Amino acid sequence: MRMRKFPRLHLGPDSLVRSVSLLGLALAACGTPVVSPSDDAAADTTTSRPDIVSQPDVVSQPDVVSQPDVVSQPDVISQPDVVSQPDVVEVMDAAPDALPDATMDAQPDALPDALPDSRPDALPDSRPDALPDALPDALPDSRPDSTPDATPDSSPDATADAGVIVGPNACGFSIGTPRMAGGVAQSCTANEVAVGVAISVEGRGVPNAINLACATVDAMGAPMGAVRWTGGAPGAAFQQRLCAAGSVLTGFTGASGDIVDRISASCRPARWDRSAMRVSLASVGAASGTAYDRECLPGGAISSLTPQIADYFGAAVIHQLIATCRTDSYTRTGVTIGGVGGSSPTPFTVSCPAGQYAVGVQATADGRGFANRAGLVCAPYSAGVFGATSTTIAGAPTAQCPVGSMAVGLYARPGEITDRIGAVCQPVAGGASTDSAAVPSAGMLGRQESPCPAGYAVVGITGSTVTYFGASVLGRIEAVCGPLRCM
């Protein structure tokens, strides 16, 4: 019988077992006997075949073929923690934070540092060097310099005076550099105040003459009537700069160096304090020089000008301008403070002698220890020197300011009535204010203050006494403040 040929197969261990079993079945089907060396062997072969042919545990291979844990790979393929990459997406969220930090934050820091530092340094340095007062014919009359000139109270001089009772500008100031002694003063009369100027320039645009305008003042210190020019009516070569009605000439801004390069007049309302708006008029002069800002103290106005004129590289110009300020004797009052109890108020006023300022307070007490009368310790002041003190209530307890200080306000320790009063003191040369002791010694511990405006000092007390449980005691009070005057 001819044998069939079967293709050669490459089988694994399990497949080999199945192949051998199938081969035996095929031979049996063809009638080929299976030779057994012995009956035991045949019996072994016969008994073993059911295990080989059926192979329930091998052929079905439920754990191997289906491989539920290996083939589906739920933990590997889905990879919820790795493939979905929730943390990778968060990296994208972090990128916007990085970008603003790198761009937004860095640029603002760089821009302000570059712009403010470079521009201010360049302008002031270049103007004095590039235009050293000798540059020709460059300046029109309308050169406004409005940006620097129109900024009120921003200069170092104005800021410094704010904390100084009597500063360098109290009775006057100067601009420019002195080249000669003397000069011809142009002055307003005793009942006048300056309200403007007229300025002329030479060929290079530098001021070479100035004329002061004055006007009479009313009882409140406000200018009125026609303008009087101290140097005669200005000619066509002069540019007139006059303050608005009701305002007075208080100072100048502009630029100077060896000479007065540029002048802009400053005006404020009459009887002004630092809350009043300053108006700078259009400037006249050259673009050279270093910026300046000079002004009388609050309440003051210019009363005279002395220009010093001398040659500068072949032409006469103003080297220095000297101004004198004046103040009037009008007063202002602080806020009303003190107790609100009692009945039948009776007004009173206490004042220092004319030309003197308070350097302390006084108070007397009734038999119950309640303050029933207020007074002042006063002293004349001129050119940084205090004169001898005097009091408005002889023999009354006093509380004085430190030496070199004057009262710039009052404070009270009130309950239902004003139990005690004291002075708010400030050094005339500048510095922090302090409280004097309070008199009389008994009373409540609360504190209320009646301050004077900047540039003013206490010259009086006004208020009322009230009836309190059958006796007269101190009720409400307020400070009466006067401007510091040139004497």
- Nearest Cα to Cα of residue 295 among 144, 156, 191: 156
Q: What is the DSSP letter of 243?
A: P
State yes or no: cis peptide before 156, omega within 30 of 0: no
Residue 138 DSSP class: -
Tokens 């393929």 identify what position? 77
Q: Which of 391, 300, 382 is nearest to 351 (CA)?
A: 391
pLDDT greater at residue 360 or residue 58: 360
For residues 236 and 323, membership in a common domain is answered with: yes
Report the 10 Å Cβ neighbour count for 252: 27
Q: Tell me: pLDDT of 51 over 70.
A: no
Largest CA distance in the chain: 161
**In the Cβ-directed half-sphere of 476, how many Cα atoms lie within 13 Å?**
12
The residue from 327, 356, 379 where one domain ends is: 327
Same domain, 377 and 454: yes
Q: Are residues 321 and 387 in the same domain?
A: no
Q: Let me know whether 319 and 377 are in one domain.
A: no
336, 319: one domain: no
Say if residue 276 is in the same domain as residue 252: yes
Determine, yes or no, domain membership for 269. yes
Check residue 276 and give its pLDDT. Answer: 84
Is 300 a member of any domain?
A: yes
Decide if 347 is inside a domain.
yes
Q: Within a domain: residue 114?
A: no
pLDDT digits 0-9 by tens, 88-147:
333 333 333 333 333 333 343 333 443 334 333 433 333 334 334 443 333 333 333 333
Q: Are residues 180 and 292 in the same domain?
A: yes
Residue 290 and residue 156 share a domain = yes
Task: Give me the domain span that covers residue 299.
Answer: 146-327
Cα–Cα distance measured from residue 258 to residue 373, given in angstroms and rounded to the nearest whole number: 58
CA dist 23 to 18, 43, 471, Å? 9, 19, 140
In a domain, 135, yes or no: no
Whether residue 421 sits in one domain with residue 436: yes
Question: Do 44 and 173 belong to one domain?
Answer: no
Q: How large a percentage of the chain has pLDDT more than 90?
A: 46
Helix spans in 163-290 (H) = none
Among 278, 302, 327, the domain boundary falls at: 327
CATH of the domain at 370: 2.100.10.30
- Whether residue 234 is predicted with pLDDT greater than 60 in this model: the reply is yes
Total tally of structural domains belonging to the chain: 3
Model confidence, pTM: 0.52
Per-residue pLDDT reduced to its tens digit, 217-231: 886 667 888 899 999
pLDDT tens-digit map of 21-43: 555 555 454 554 444 444 443 33
Looking at 34, 64, 84, which one is the last position of a domain?
A: 84
Question: Token pair of 274, please?
Answer: 């630092």
> How far is the CA of 186 from the CAs of 207, 273, 328, in angstroms?
16, 26, 20
List the beta bridge partners of residue 423. Answer: 410
For residues 192 and 214, the answer to whether their CB atoms sit within 8 Å is: yes
Other C-beta atoms lying within 10 Å of the C-beta of residue 393: 16
Residue holding tokens 């003042």?
217
Q: Which residues pair with 187 in a beta bridge?
A: 304
